[in-house]
Amino acid sequence: MKKQLLVAVSLCAGFIASAMADSRVAIHYPGQSQALVLQGAANLEQQQAQQQLLARLSAFSAELRGDNDGELADLVDRVRAQLAAMRITGRQFVPLDPDWIRLRSEANRRLSGEYSVYTLSRPTSIQVVGVTTPAGPQPYQPGRDVAEYLQTHQRFSGAEKNVV
């Protein structure tokens, strides 16, 4: 049961990490950058979701400590600290390719309100989050897959090997 809860914690971490930003947001694919549009209301919604998740993780850790499972509680606290350090944004993926928009009228949405558009160049690091050591930023290496990044990381006892 506790291993299943730890897997759920890791999955939640992955969900929150997908909304992570470091003051700028973009996804880089080899040879191109995809612009992202940020909306203030979506930012607030994702930040509230992060705070709710952090509160649930704190409660889960306290429950584990109450059950005298301090080792697992420490792991939950480690994941909570990783998530608390992330800057979260709400974002909308918007294709800005003129041909895509020209051929698909539904892609030419009218924007109203306040939005910010950011693009980034090639990434220099990736973020490894979960019940693994070392967690945190790792140097980005083009062509390397997830399995290769994780070969140098140790998973803690009870960690699901398919969820980081």
pLDDT (0 to 100) of residue 64: 93
Taking residues 18-31, report their average pLDDT. Answer: 42
Average pLDDT of the chain is: 73
Q: How confident is the model at residue 97 (pLDDT cuts 50, 70, 90)?
A: confident
pLDDT (0 to 100) of residue 30: 45
According to DSSP, the β-strands at 36-39 and 132-133 are unpaired
pLDDT (0 to 100) of residue 62: 95
Q: How confident is the model at residue 39 (pLDDT cuts 50, 70, 90)?
A: low
pLDDT (0 to 100) of residue 7: 44
Taking residues 97-107, report their average pLDDT. Answer: 81
pLDDT (0 to 100) of residue 86: 83
Tokens 């994780």, residue? 150
Q: How confident is the model at residue 22 (pLDDT cuts 50, 70, 90)?
A: very low
pLDDT (0 to 100) of residue 85: 87
55: amino acid identity, one letter: A
- pTM, rounded to two decimals: 0.58
Residue 121 has pLDDT above 60, yes or no: yes
Report percent pLDDT > 70 for the chain: 61
Q: 154 forms bridges with which residues in the sheet?
A: 133
Residue 52 has pLDDT above 90, yes or no: yes
C-alpha angle 154/160/162, rounded to 5°?
Answer: 90
Residue of 125, 44, 135 lying closest to 81 (CA atoms): 135
131 touches 155 (CB < 8 A): yes
